[in-house]
Amino acid sequence: MKAKFIRSSIAATFLFGLMSATPALAENTTNVYFKGEIVESACGLSPDSIDQTIQLGQQPTHIFKAKGDRSTPVPFQVKLTDCDTSVATTAQFTFDSNPDTTGNLFSVEGGATGIGVRILHDGNPINNGDVAASNVLIDGTNIASFSAAYEANVDVTATPVTAGVAESWALLRVTYL
C-alpha cells in the first residue's frame, strides 16, 4: 500500500511539474491616449466631427467637360453636442483654406490640375472663406449637413483637367451668435 501511495505521489508531482512548465501565452500591450479639449462655448464638437477625412473617390477626367462641372457630391456632417440655447441661438459655419485659381474653391495638391474642391450646403455652393450656413440651435444635439465634390476651375476646352492625386483641406470655424 505504501509503495502504491509513493508511486501515485510521484506521478502527481510529475504531472504538476509538466503543467507548471507550460509557457504562458504572450500578452499584448499598447498605449491608449485620451485627447480632447474643454471649451467655453455654446456647444461641443462631437468626436466623429473632429479631423474628418472625406473620401471623394477616383473620378474620371472625362466628367469635367466645362468649367463648373462637378463630381458626384459626397455628404458629410458636423455634429454639435450639448448645445445650450441660453448661451447662443445660432451657429455659423465657415470653411477656410488655400484658394484655388478662382479664389472660390479649395485648392488641391498632389498632381491633378484644373480642379478644386467645392463644399456645398443644401446643394448650394459655398465659396472659400464665406459663411457657409447659419443654423438655428436647439438644446442638445445639432447636426449640420454638407457635401464636397471636385469641380473644374478652368475652361476645359483650352486647358483640360489632368489626372493625378487631388487632396485638399479646410479649417472649419463654428461661430455662435
What are the pLDDT digits (tens) for 26-45? 888 899 988 899 999 999 99
Domains, in order of start, for the chain: 44-176 (2.60.40.1090)
pLDDT exceeding 90 applies to what percent of the chain?
73
Quick check: 8 pLDDT over 90? Answer: no
Work out the number of other CB atoms within 10 angstroms of the CB of residue 46: 16
What are the pLDDT digits (tens) for 63-112? 999 999 999 999 999 999 999 999 999 999 999 999 888 889 999 999 99
Kindly state the cell numbers that stand for 33.
491616449
